[in-house]
Amino acid sequence: MNKTVLFTSAAVLTAAATFSNVNSQQNEMSFFITSVGSGDGASLGGLAGADAHCAALADAAGSAGKTWRAYLSAHATANSPAVNARDRIGFGPWYNVNGVEVASNLNVLHGPNNNLNKQASLTEQGGVVNGRGDTPNQHDILTGSTIDGRTVDDGSNHTCNNWTSNGSGSAHVGHFDRTGGGQNPTSWNSAHGSRGCSQEDLVGTGGNGYFYCFAID
């Protein structure tokens, strides 16, 4: 009888540990706000440079084995078509560093029921980014995107020359804390444009050159 009880208890514990391990793996971090920007305004080295920044931060935080993409759109050029941020980031679901789901798929991410807010939109280190009402306010997040995650196609430059400029131009930004000013003040990805592309301009508008990173696998 005792042996049966011990065997059953061991089996339950093993199953629980296996479930916990699988669940932990499934809920590994796959979304974060960069804890630091490039330090050079919106000049990120293009999309490739921004992706590399995401990967480096994730790796430093102990998250290995994932492919990271910056949530950034890019305008069409003579040599390349436009790139939509939503087409770069996989299909979800995405979890923050604490295993909290921020969105289950692309439609939820770009709809009214996502979980992107000040409490859940954490850095890769688990930090809370300063929002509106904090000092300094850093709630502007670079995206270059419309509300549905596509390139802003109105003839103007909304990506600081596809994330290579630290001077003239403008970057479309979102408010991770879902509050503030602009055309769409509660939008996490498309609130308003920055006043310029330099670090000073981004800080002056209410940001610090941060952007979103998503794992595609």
- Whether the model clears a pTM of 0.85, i.e. scores above it, the answer is yes
In a domain, 116, yes or no: yes
Sorted by sequence, the CB contacts under 8 Å of residue 66 that are 6+ apart come out as 28, 30, 58, 215, 216, 217
> 20 in a domain, yes or no?
no
Q: Using one digit for the tens of pLDDT, what is the confidence trace for 165-204?
A: 999 899 999 999 999 999 999 999 999 999 999 999 999 9
Overall average pLDDT of the 21-44 stretch = 85
Contact 196, 169 (CB under 8 A): yes
Residue 113: partners with Cβ closer than 8 Å, 6 or more residues away? none
Domain count, the chain: 1
**Domain hosting residue 124, numbered range:** 28-215
Residue 34 belongs to a domain: yes
> Could you check whether the bond before residue 136 is cis, i.e. omega within 30 degrees of 0?
yes
- Write the DSSP string, 110-135: TSTT---STTT-BBTTSPBPP-BTBS
- Are the CB atoms for 170 and 182 separated by under 8 Å? no
Q: Is residue 47 part of a domain?
A: yes
* pLDDT exceeds 60 at position 67: yes
- Examine residue 38 and state whether it is found in any structural domain, yes or no: yes
pLDDT of residue 168: 86
| Predicted pLDDT at 64 | 87
User: For residue 107, what is the domain's CATH number?
Assistant: 3.10.100.10
Does any domain span residue 21? no
Q: Is residue 67 part of a domain?
A: yes
> Residue 12 domain-assigned?
no
